[in-house]
Homo-oligomer: A and B are copies of this chain.
Amino acid sequence: MRSPTELAQVFREKQLKLTPQRQLLFSLLHQNQSHPTAESLYEIASKQMPGISLRTIYQTLGELADMGELQLVDLGNGAMRFDPNMGEHQHFVCGSCGAIHDVDITSAPKLRAGSADGFAVEEIGVVFHGRCNRCNHKQQVRSPGSQAKNKASN
Given contacts A120-B131, A130-B120, contact A154 B94 (CB under 8 A): no
Q: Are B136 and A128 in contact (CB under 8 A)?
A: no
Secondary structure type dominating chain A contacts: mixed
Q: Report the contact-size class of chain A (Cβ under 8 Å from the partner).
A: 35 or more
User: Could you list 28 A-B pairs, sorted by A, with CB under 8 Å?
Assistant: A28-B154, A32-B154, A34-B152, A34-B154, A37-B151, A40-B152, A40-B153, A76-B76, A76-B127, A79-B151, A90-B126, A91-B127, A92-B128, A92-B132, A95-B131, A96-B132, A96-B135, A98-B150, A99-B134, A99-B152, A108-B126, A118-B133, A118-B134, A118-B136, A119-B133, A119-B136, A124-B128, A125-B129
